[in-house]
Structure 1
Amino acid sequence: MSSVSFSYGWKYDVFLSFRGSDTRHGFTGHLYKALRDKGIHTFIDDEELQRGEEIAPSLLKAIQESRIAIPVFSQNYASSTFCLDELVHILSCFKEKGRLVLPVFYDVDPSHVRHQRGTYQEAFNTHKQRFFHDHDNKLHKWRNALSQVADLSGYHFKHGSENEYEFIGKIVKGVSQKVNCSLLHVADYPVGMESRMLQVNSLLNIESGGVHMVGIYGIGGVGKTTIARAIYNLIADQFEGLCFLDNVRENSNKHGLVHLQEALLSKSTGEYGMKFGSVNEGIPVIKHRLHSKKVLLILDDVDDLDQLRATIGGTDWFGSGSKIIITTRDRHLLICYGIKSTYEVNGLNKTEALDLLRWSAFKTEKVDPCYRNILNHVVTYTSGLPLALEVIGSTMFRKSIEEWESALDQYKRIPNKKIQDILRVSFYSLEEKEQKIFLDIACCFKGYALTYVKDILSSHHGFRTEYGIGVLIEKSLIKIDACGRVTLHDLIEDMGKEIVRKESEEEPGKRSRLWCPEDIVEVLEENKVRLLWN
């Protein structure tokens, strides 16, 4: 299952990095036992692995497969080049894969680690002599790593200030809360997920202390929610409060904005039963309760600015380091709200699409070669839309090639209802004039030059169409390619044509638009010319 091996479970909960001669048989040994006794799966290297100069591949793998890394900075930690290399790798995982790092300063001043003073300065003086030429720039990497990790929130122990047993208890309690936080189901087959998730994660700028908002946008069914769930699972353990608000559009329409406020505050604080009489009553309560709390908030499927104004307001509502993710079909909504960091989710490439289709339809990546052609035809038909691949794949589970071919022919004539229902949400969010422009383009003007389309449609409708076309672009319903031509996803094109076909399934002459040559000929022959427009 290599193509879908990306998952959100880790082999280890905790990876311990430490100077063996300092703390193995003392503090770190006791911490390891306490973590294990609490049921926290912890990796601790045995002494054999630290005898060489290079970190063993098995140790690097253990770091990558650990959810949390705890480097224990003792007096002689920096004297070990092995420990310093290990720390560089830990921080690399922290940045690239969103892993959590909890530094422990054991009888060491954090400022000595940050600025390499005291025994840390002595260690680097020795390293300077040994790595005189330093072709690999090791010293700079080590100093950088120490400075970065010392700025992270962690634990500081000083002999005489508290009992070591109680100090270890604090660490175990904190780690336990993080590893036990509930994760979300992401996808049965998260094909192509890791690269997209990491791109969004980089926009969040996790290591910064500021409040940051990121918008994820794209057409329905392209995977926005899936990416948001994956991000949630990846970084949830780094926050004091968590809230994933599902289906904001639907819940707002059904239950109102106050319901969204109550749900957000309940989930992010863990206190349930809060009720507000109005949106204006809820806003100051949210600000008061969360302004000093580091929270992760995800608002899924937002379609109205009022939903954002009622729930996330401004960056001053939340504590330092808070991160907010918004998923929407409407890029313009993100622009209007002043969200500068945005990510457009595009369809899967051909390789990814084939992988997802195989797993959805056959529950394996190895498929009888005789299915190759029909699978390629399905991938072409879906244009890499994950929703369509999963729906068609699951529908065709254990079906013969003949059944596959028959189903695909039918989908081309009458699109799948489940797929169409998801895509139609964007259409029904348009104003009437914008709906007309969209149907014109979907039925008759795909692939034409934008300037030509504007002129034709403006002349026909009697109003300038630039704004309406802009709305369609912002809602990811159409795109303009590098050559200035209007284009749209094949399934969105099918959705538009199906809306028009439904105007009169039996009599093409009663439809508002005609594009199929056979229908046009039929109408002309019956002298019912309704070519393109009523």
Structure 2
Amino acid sequence: MAAFPTDEGDSFSSSTHRWDYDVFLSFRGEDTRHGFTGYLYQALCYKGFKTFIDNEDLQRGEGISAELIKVIKSSIISIIIFSQNYAFSTWCLEELTKILECKKNGQKVLPVFYKVDPSEVRKQEASFGLALTTHEKKFENNIEKVLRWRAALGGGQLYVKQLVCLHGIMRMFIQGIIKEVSSTILYRTNLFVAKYPIGVGSRAEFVENLLDIKTNDVRVVGIHGLGGIGKTTIAKAVYNRVADQFEGSSFLMNVRENSRTDYSIIKLQEQLLSEI
């Protein structure tokens, strides 16, 4: 994701932050460029979303270019279109790993499973298993690269919110994606964490693991310590990491100070209801 604002206390959304793109499309060209992805791109543009699609103008190689990495980082949403031959492309797999890195910093990621079952991707079966086995033979001297791709495809963060199109009407499926994108662009807000968030990521990840969201939808974790050591900073970072996994979210600051009168309690209630 692009850099956070420099004025502490500010939040940002797609309407206030200078993003280059609303949507980045990751897809296997030969599978869907002239079909599903092409129609999705047209629909996104028609709705007014600035969408990046690789028109094969970028120079190809085993790794993605610095230019493309910049595009991914400067997009509010990345849509990953998993098709039958997606994993055969090392370019696509490198895009995927970069997108998931951005997701850790709060980028919205929407996986779309087009005529493939999500379990085939997660468990790396069928064409996805064959593709990874092929890569292991090709990159036997750099097996870490393939292990990174396997971890990206099998990681649970891809399957929290997903859209699956095995059969059915493509137009209705695309409209569902448009609705999801519209909801994100209009309502998503990230909190400013820190100008130089050194060391925050690992601590936020630790707290996120304590929340254990995937196995329990109600969880409370307390962060305590002396004033000024970064409790709120960590809480903000955790919020940015997990907010996308819920239909609604709200971050209430200084609750004790802001609940000393009936009026201030009502203001907190209004903020909570407004945001969720």
TM norm. shorter chain > 0.5:
yes
- Once the two structures are TM-superposed, the CA of residue 50 in structure 1 deviates from its matched residue by 5.6
How many Å separate the matches in 1 of 2:183 and 2:122? 27
Kindly indicate whether residue 252 of structure 2 is the aligned counterpart of residue 248 of structure 1: no
**8 Å Cα contact 2:63/2:91 also seen in 1:** yes
Of the three residues 64, 85, 91, the one matched with 1:82 is 91
Kindly indicate whether residue 175 of structure 2 is the aligned counterpart of residue 166 of structure 1: no
Q: Relative to structure 2, which stretch is displaced further, 58-67 or 36-45?
A: 36-45
Would the alpha carbon gap of residues 36 and 237 (structure 1) be closer, same or farther in structure 2, given more than 3 Å must change? farther
Aligned residues: 260
Secondary structure of 2:141's counterpart equals coil
- Once the two structures are TM-superposed, the CA of residue 204 in structure 1 deviates from its matched residue by 2.4
Secondary structure of 1:48's counterpart equals coil
How many Å separate the matches in 2 of 1:248 and 1:155? 37
Greater RCO structure (CA 8 Å; 6+ sep): 2
Secondary structure of 2:84's counterpart equals coil
The correspondence of residues 87-486 of structure 1 with structure 2, limited to 5 A, is: 87-95=96-104, 97-131=105-139, 133-148=140-155, 151-159=159-167, 162-181=168-187, 183=189, 186=192, 191-192=195-196, 194-195=197-198, 197-202=200-205, 203-205=207-209, 208-209=213-214, 210=216, 211=219, 213-215=221-223, 217-219=225-227, 232=239, 236-255=243-262, 259=266, 262-263=269-270, 266-267=273-274, 269=276
Q: What amino acid does structure 2 have at the position aligned with 1:147?
A: G
Secondary structure of 2:113's counterpart equals strand
- Once the two structures are TM-superposed, the CA of residue 175 in structure 1 deviates from its matched residue by 1.6
How many Å separate the matches in 1 of 2:235 and 2:49? 27
- Once the two structures are TM-superposed, the CA of residue 254 in structure 1 deviates from its matched residue by 0.6
Secondary structure of 1:248's counterpart equals coil
Long gaps (5+) in structure 2: none
- Once the two structures are TM-superposed, the CA of residue 225 in structure 1 deviates from its matched residue by 5.4
**Cα deviation digits, residues 84-129 of structure 1 (max 9, x gap):** 122122222223x232321100011111111222222332343233
How many Å separate the matches in 1 of 2:94 and 2:253? 42
TM-score by length of 2: 0.78
How many Å separate the matches in 1 of 2:262 and 2:79? 44
How many Å separate the matches in 2 of 1:225 and 1:135? 41
TM-score by length of 1: 0.43
How many Å separate the matches in 2 of 1:73 and 1:181? 26
Provide the residue aligned with 2:20 in structure 1: 11
**Cα deviation digits, residues 213-268 of structure 1 (max 9, x gap):** 25265437x77657655665665444311223343223321118974884476246
Secondary structure of 1:68's counterpart equals strand
- Going by fraction, where is helix more abundant, 1 or 2? 1
Decide which structure has the larger Cα Rg and report it. Answer: 1
Q: What amino acid does structure 2 have at the position aligned with 1:109?
A: D
Would the alpha carbon gap of residues 219 and 121 (structure 1) be closer, same or farther in structure 2, given more than 3 Å must change? closer
How many Å separate the matches in 2 of 1:259 and 1:212? 23
How many Å separate the matches in 2 of 1:3 and 1:244? 17
**8 Å Cα contact 1:236/1:242 also seen in 2:** yes
How many Å separate the matches in 2 of 1:3 and 1:157? 35
How many Å separate the matches in 1 of 2:27 and 2:190? 33
- Once the two structures are TM-superposed, the CA of residue 19 in structure 1 deviates from its matched residue by 0.2
Provide the residue aligned with 1:41 in structure 2: 50
**Cα deviation digits, residues 307-330 of structure 1 (max 9, x gap):** xxxxxxxxxxxxxxxxxxxxxxxx
How many Å separate the matches in 1 of 2:241 and 2:108? 9
How many Å separate the matches in 2 of 1:105 and 1:263? 38
Would the alpha carbon gap of residues 11 and 128 (structure 1) be closer, same or farther in structure 2, given more than 3 Å must change? same
Q: What amino acid does structure 2 have at the position aligned with 1:249?
A: R
Would the alpha carbon gap of residues 198 and 127 (structure 1) be closer, same or farther in structure 2, given more than 3 Å must change? closer
How many Å separate the matches in 2 of 1:174 and 1:264? 23
Of the three residues 19, 32, 35, the one matched with 1:26 is 35
**8 Å Cα contact 2:22/2:50 also seen in 1:** yes
Secondary structure of 2:116's counterpart equals coil
**Cα deviation digits, residues 488-517 of structure 1 (max 9, x gap):** xxxxxxxxxxxxxxxxxxxxxxxxxxxxxx
- Once the two structures are TM-superposed, the CA of residue 83 in structure 1 deviates from its matched residue by 0.9
How many Å separate the matches in 1 of 2:251 and 2:115? 39
How many Å separate the matches in 1 of 2:183 and 2:4? 32
**8 Å Cα contact 1:74/1:106 also seen in 2:** yes
Kindly indicate whether residue 78 of structure 2 is the aligned counterpart of residue 69 of structure 1: yes
How many Å separate the matches in 2 of 1:240 and 1:231? 16
Would the alpha carbon gap of residues 147 and 230 (structure 1) be closer, same or farther in structure 2, given more than 3 Å must change? closer
